[in-house]
Structure 1
Amino acid sequence: MFSQSPYECKIEWGRRGAREAAERGDIVVIVDVLSFSSTVVSALSAGAIIFPYPPELDGIKYAESIGAEYILGRAEAARGGRPTLSPVTFNEEHRNNQYVLSSLNGAYCSWIASKVPALLIGSLLNASAVAATAERIQQETGTGITVVPCGEMWDGTHENEDRLRPSVEDYLGAGAILAKLNGEKSPEAEVCTGAFNSSVNRLKDLIWDCGSGRELRERGYETDVRYCSQLNVNNIVPIMKEGRFIMCK
């Protein structure tokens, strides 16, 4: 059976990968560069409290039950001047406010893997910081580390087709984190690290012009793409505790 279990540092894709890592009891780092992970980092930097929740479930009802605000889609929320899945919409005005953030990829993968010893949120923004935190927790617990690039979902899939679309930005984000981990890496993790190392000087250009980057730019979110492409500009490491993300200390 396919397994990266013999290695300390592993990589698994998407929801199925999140479940695989959770079943192993690994420390899990969720990577959704455009934009869930970057938004969580930005929100916590502004002092907000984020609860991830799968979009297929009733997020509005869940938000009401915990006294939080449900984050709407980018366009709808922007019209009302409210924070969205766009990381640049969070600021000091949102300090201490609670929000339920849904997404098909990052929020869903976080929900699937929520019972692991430690679930961290990683992005290009905080790659070095999240790697250092994961490694510290690994030394304390003796568990492995799995980095989970979430990827995207194909639209209009036919019956029996897999919806997962691996994405360049999440692969590079995962590689940025894996490159800072000292444990023995699986071959899959080594290749991901190599992809990042060979691309590090072109990160902004590659993400700007990759499929996900073009999609956001065509919808008018060029600022999001630029923001999320920055490497190691934030030391905030979100960790999940009791269903919400807080800053790991």
Structure 2
Amino acid sequence: MGTPHSQHRHRIRLDWGLQGAQSVVDGADQAVVVDVLSFTTTLTVAIDLGAEVYPYQWRDESVVEFAEARDARYAVGRFKARESGPLAAVSLSPASLRTATGLKRLVLPSPNGSTISAALRDRGVEVVGACLLNRAAVAAHALDHLHEPGRSVAFVAAGERWPDGSLRPSVEDLWGCGAVLSAVLADQPALADELSPEARAAVAAYDDIAGALRTALLDSASGQELVEAGFRDDVLVAAQLDSSRAVPVLEGERFADTRHRAATGIGA
């Protein structure tokens, strides 16, 4: 029997950040991590390039040694990459990553989605990376789990960080969770009865802005932060709904592509 914060009475759950993730995955079979701006968007771009992606704790100096031991490149922050010029190492910017070549293995640190994914590695759940790009593909993958009686899926809205390190719930991650869930319900409306109130709120939030998704994402606090810093293209990439069929699943240390190939019709 879980605690009230695990939302164990519901097969489809949602909570925020690292602490919320650790609570809501209690008893779950699958965790869908959503960090739209930008870990899971960058992850999906890298997977589409054919790379394996290693999530890693943010600003841990051991990342260099970790990457070298796996013959992998590691991503630096957007600003550091820009300061280094056009030949800089790859970064968390999904727009710039799309131009990368020869990328086979990538260590991708981030303070939110990557850190959460790494922390859930040993919790006995399948960890999936989701964003707006691959929401239909992830929805189909989640439905595979939910078709089996008794299985549950925990959605994790990664959120952002205030300067003091505390969690800043960010609306784009709520929309991202809601986008995946909206696709799930479009295929299986009866699953609406399985949603926790938190998951139900994400669907409502997404449905409210679905017709103006790109504008909403650009106007959000996180979107404006990136626009003002000169990374508008990252927001535009993140808004490309259903442009990828990648389903990044954490296998051991790294995310690999487990594409949903069944003819579900979702996102068609």
Query: What corresponds to 1:190 in structure 2?
Result: 200
Aligned equivalents of 1:101 and 1:241: distance in 2? Answer: 15
Contact 2:74/2:89 (8 A) holds in 1 = no
**CA apart distance, 1:102:** 0.3
Query: What corresponds to 2:25 in structure 1?
Result: 22
**CA apart distance, 1:188:** 1.2
Aligned equivalents of 1:66 and 1:191: distance in 2? Answer: 41
- Tell me which amino acid in the other structure corresponds to 1:73: G
Contact 1:46/1:92 (8 A) holds in 2 = no
Query: What corresponds to 1:143 in structure 2?
Result: 151
- Tell me which amino acid in the other structure corresponds to 2:200: E
Say which SS state the counterpart of residue 94 (structure 1) adopts. coil
1:67 maps to 2:71: yes
**CA apart distance, 1:203:** 1.3
The change in CA–CA distance for 1:165 and 1:226 in structure 2 (over 3 A counts) is same
Give the alignment partner of residue 54 of structure 1, picking from 39, 54, 57: 57
Query: What corresponds to 1:160 in structure 2?
Result: none
1:203 maps to 2:213: yes
**CA apart distance, 1:230:** 1.9
- Superposed, 1:25-40 pairs within 5 Å as 25-40=28-43
Aligned equivalents of 1:96 and 1:130: distance in 2? Answer: 23
Gaps spanning 5+ residues in structure 1: where?
A: 158-162
The change in CA–CA distance for 1:176 and 1:66 in structure 2 (over 3 A counts) is same
Query: What corresponds to 2:265 in structure 1?
Result: none
Aligned equivalents of 1:221 and 1:203: distance in 2? Answer: 18
Gaps spanning 5+ residues in structure 2: where?
A: 260-268
Instruction: Give the % identical residues.
Output: 34
RMSD: 1.8
Aligned equivalents of 1:206 and 1:84: distance in 2? Answer: 25
Contact 1:71/1:83 (8 A) holds in 2 = yes
1:220 maps to 2:220: no
Give the alignment partner of residue 250 of structure 2, picking from 225, 240, 243: 240
Give the alignment partner of residue 110 of structure 2, picking from 92, 103, 107: 103
**CA apart distance, 1:156:** 3.5
**CA apart distance, 1:117:** 3.1
The count of residues paired between Structure 1 and Structure 2 equals: 244
- Tell me which amino acid in the other structure corresponds to 2:80: E
Query: What corresponds to 1:164 in structure 2?
Result: 167
TM-score scaled by length of structure 1 = 0.91
Aligned equivalents of 2:159 and 2:103: distance in 1? Answer: 30
**CA apart distance, 1:77:** 2.6
